[in-house]
Amino acid sequence: MGDAAQESGRVFRLIYRSRNLIPPDRRKAELGTLFSAARSSNKKQDITGALLVHGDWFAQVLEGSETPVRALYERIQQDGRHDKVSILAEGPAERVFGRWSMARVSAEGEPDIPLIAHRDGISPAASRGTTPDQEAVLDTLRQATRDDAHAV
């Protein structure tokens, strides 16, 4: 894979969910810092995906080569901001977030914020909407932070 994230192609996809341990009064600042660092690091490793933050839960899809995706997941498991980390799905898939370096996905009623990685950096994507394949994965994230979250 090249320097820029590929639009499509076979990749390893991992979807996980975790409980957000960031204190509510520090979440906005901490998530801003987390997003900036993650986007830069993920772009270098050709990892794309989307992150949903809903209440006290994170759900995230990561796409890329299996080794760096699994290494990132291992770091997330050790990160003190996450608890009850569990894999929802993993395996080979077609990359559907190839132009998303990482995005904040709306939980309810707010717009998604896809971020596009390109050679000069990362910027918000023009609101082109999402594809049916992207929506199918995003629905998994939204579901994971609602129904299952309450049963844990």
> pLDDT by residue (tens digit) across 31-79?
777 777 787 888 889 998 888 877 788 888 999 999 999 999 999 999 8
Contacting residues for 20 by C-beta, under 8 A, at least 6 apart: 27, 53, 55, 56, 57, 58, 81, 82
Task: Please report whether residue 82 resides in a domain.
Answer: yes
- Local confidence band at 16 (pLDDT 50, 70, 90 cut-offs): very high
> pLDDT by residue (tens digit) across 96-128?
887 765 555 555 555 455 544 444 444 455 555
**Dihedral angle, C-alpha 29, 126, 62, 9, nearest 10 °:** -160
Q: What is the pLDDT of residue 122?
A: 42
Question: pTM value?
Answer: 0.74
Q: In whole angstroms, give the CA distance from residue 130 to residue 146.
A: 21
Task: Please report whether residue 16 resides in a domain.
Answer: yes
> For residue 91, is pLDDT > 90?
yes
> For residue 25, is pLDDT > 50?
yes
CATH number where 83 lies = 3.30.70.100
H-assigned helices in the chain: 27-44, 66-78, 132-144, 147-151
What is the domain count for the chain? Answer: 1
For 30, the domain range is: 10-151
Determine the Cα angle at 112 with ends 2 and 95, to 5°.
30
Is residue 123 within 8 Å of residue 43, measured between CB atoms? no
> For residue 132, is pLDDT > 90?
no
Q: What is the pLDDT of residue 117?
A: 42
